Structure 1
């Protein structure tokens, strides 16, 4: 039982070290990926080179003159300083300059060492391969071929050095030069092609990612425009009902205001009729408030805003929207709303939810040209809120029901529908983590079931209005 805790304690320093290595102020994605490995390599070399030299000085008999010893210690010291300086430059975001500096110093030290000791006196040297790989992966093709150009020069200086020795049984010091030059040429060509392919692949991937981000942004913009168009269309369908409502409001105001003529009549008694005038003014105020409420609701609904999910009670929202639903359905369609006693809170964009309900009402009205009933039922279903929106209209065939949530699919005549209403409902349900389905029978009607996950009232961005 103690092992997991011990493992967390053991790995915690390594995680902090890895995080420290990744915290490099670099914008280029390739440099950002290379920075941790480069730092580890340079830190290793900055420690290994002086320790290795100290070990050799303490355990082996020195067979060098004073000048060679100075060159040996001087080149190792220069490479050590270059390694630690490279780490500091990378920490400041100078990945390519730091790597180029280390490659340059190391290559100069190699040239000096080969001139001072002769190539044949050197053991296997991994540094040419290391420098080629660093130049190709970190800096680019120009650095790769520049390093390769220095490698044959290093061999020539080493083989031509007074301390150079010819291979056993041969009288020529340069016998192995062609094969060494060609071998490193092949390695350089492989690195050149491999790194070029990797960089081209990464460039294509980055280009594809940028295009995808642009397409996603454009899709969001198009979605917002289409949603706004759908709102405007729905507001247009509401205008006739709203006009009738405003006529009633204005008629009520005119009726109450007509009582002012009593002031000029001969039998006007200010003391007894003042309460009637006060009631008339109150009626004018109430009618004006109803007009303001309708106007604000239309302005709030039709504005073009980004989708902002908030937590609200579905039942309360439906009750607030009831006057607009009533106007949209017309006098021939009955409206029934069933709301539970307990709140049914969901997290949605309030404006989008209202648009969906109005779209369902408009579709139900169009499906019941001779009149009928449109019902909205809200109930708890475990951790879900279930909305059932049913009508007693003409219904749908199975083929139409299977495609009813497709964008731009509509069975209405041209110019009478965009095919976006139910697509918006499907997308809203999907984004909220819910589902939507339809059950319809010809000549009987249709019932849409919208299941939405319940949200806690403690969720941020709670709204109650």
Structure 2
């Protein structure tokens, strides 16, 4: 039985009061007058054993020794006593042996209870570890499935992107040729400007496809994540609406990581752009770097509209987007996931409707 400190003090007080009462009774009447009341010595032991445990049992038993000695002395002094030695010993032995037997039984039971509690605690700890391992296994499995899906889509995107790039180059070449012969035809030049704008938009999309496919060469380098975040601050301030409060916090000391620097910057800018869309012109955007042991953590948070658990679970899927048609490609977070995981890191997302979104990018610290 688990007790708080206050309850334990109360229990000790009750046992002590009963023991004092036994002592007073032994002093006034001796043991002979209580020869048929051995139960009064057993009750405190039972209470102490059930409430206070083994320590309480033997502390109570030890307190009986002076009480029994006092009762024996009172009986010996009693004028009406005239007790024979064997009768005096019998009078003392009866409560002593009864109490000792009960104390041994209670001690045995309390010992088993304590052992059972230890086993329960050990079992609970083992179950907790198993649950953690199962969750970690499930998370690793989901990451593996996601990576395989991204790889397959990446290969498809690579073949499509290269062909698409060639087509866009041909279209843009014809646009430039027509511009040279268009003369002063303002209407035609307006059409050509629109064509160039749409073509460049296609080239940007194509560039994202190539990034997802990882067909380009990466420039892997070691740099300070906090320094990159700090240098992005002016660009982020121009990105958000005036009603958005931007909070930046750089880690104390260096936060060295090793990956594609341009890709890392693109990850943060993409998340900031998504946050700007979710904020709708007002709210807070926070970007922080922290160093915890052998990990660098980059926290990207906003107080926007958030997303449901179902949407958050699909956030890193290639080509998945909740934005209106034509406004989102669904490539940004998939690319971010790939950039981070290829550097040996991970991205976790926490979000709920109306409570904003929190991305946690974790990367290994580079030593030396």
Q: Provide TM-score, normalisation by structure 2.
A: 0.51
Q: Is 1:117–1:164's contact at 8 Å kept on the other side of the alignment?
A: no
Counterparts of 1:160 and 1:95 in 2: how far apart (Å)?
36
Structure 1: which 4+ aligned runs deviate by more than 4 Å? 162-171, 288-299, 346-350, 352-355
Counterparts of 2:11 and 2:141 in 1: how far apart (Å)?
52
Number of the residue aligned with 1:130? 43
Number of the residue aligned with 1:100? 12
Number of the residue aligned with 2:67? 154
1:139-288 correspondence to structure 2 within 5 Å: 139-161=52-74, 162=77, 172-259=87-174, 261-262=176-177, 265=180, 268-288=183-203
Q: CA deviation at 1:164?
A: 9.0
Counterparts of 1:140 and 1:244 in 2: how far apart (Å)?
75
Q: Is 2:45–2:61's contact at 8 Å kept on the other side of the alignment?
A: yes
Instruction: Quickly say closer, same or farther: Cα 1:257–1:238, change in 2 above 3 A.
Output: same
SS of the counterpart of 2:134? helix
1:424-463 correspondence to structure 2 within 5 Å: none
After superposition, give the CA deviation of every residue in 1:189-233 in whole Å (9 maximum; x if it has no partner): 110001111111121012101110111111101210121022112
1:8-157 correspondence to structure 2 within 5 Å: 30-32=1-3, 93-122=5-34, 124=37, 126-157=39-70
After superposition, give the CA deviation of every residue in 1:287-331 in whole Å (9 maximum; x if it has no partner): 2574488689999xxx9xxxxxxxxxxxxxxxxxxxxxxxxxxxx
Q: CA RMSD in A?
A: 4.0
Counterparts of 1:298 and 1:95 in 2: how far apart (Å)?
66
Counterparts of 1:248 and 1:165 in 2: how far apart (Å)?
121
Unpaired runs of at least 5, structure 1: 1-29, 33-89, 304-345, 359-459
Q: CA deviation at 1:266?
A: 5.4
Q: CA deviation at 1:280?
A: 1.1
Instruction: Quickly say closer, same or farther: Cα 1:180–1:124, change in 2 above 3 A.
Output: closer
Counterparts of 1:115 and 1:286 in 2: how far apart (Å)?
103
SS of the counterpart of 1:198? helix
Q: Is 1:145–1:188's contact at 8 Å kept on the other side of the alignment?
A: yes
Counterparts of 2:206 and 2:79 in 1: how far apart (Å)?
103
Q: Provide TM-score, normalisation by structure 1.
A: 0.41
After superposition, give the CA deviation of every residue in 1:113-152 in whole Å (9 maximum; x if it has no partner): 2112222334736443232123223323232112112224
Q: Is 2:161–2:206's contact at 8 Å kept on the other side of the alignment?
A: yes
1:363-442 correspondence to structure 2 within 5 Å: none
Counterparts of 1:133 and 1:141 in 2: how far apart (Å)?
11
Instruction: Quickly say closer, same or farther: Cα 1:187–1:266, change in 2 above 3 A.
Output: closer
Structure 1 window deviating more from structure 2 (237-246 vs 163-172): it is 163-172
After superposition, give the CA deviation of every residue in 1:213-264 in whole Å (9 maximum; x if it has no partner): 1111111012101210221122112222011232244334423432453377
SS of the counterpart of 2:88? coil
Q: CA deviation at 1:350?
A: 6.2
1:271-310 correspondence to structure 2 within 5 Å: 271-288=186-203, 290-291=205-206
Counterparts of 1:142 and 1:201 in 2: how far apart (Å)?
17
After superposition, give the CA deviation of every residue in 1:355-389 in whole Å (9 maximum; x if it has no partner): 7xx9xxxxxxxxxxxxxxxxxxxxxxxxxxxxxxx
Q: CA deviation at 1:111?
A: 1.3
Question: Structure with the greater relative contact order (CA < 8 A, sep ≥ 6): 1 or 2?
Answer: 2
Q: CA deviation at 1:347?
A: 8.1
Q: Is 1:96–1:139's contact at 8 Å kept on the other side of the alignment?
A: yes
Counterparts of 2:128 and 2:187 in 1: how far apart (Å)?
74
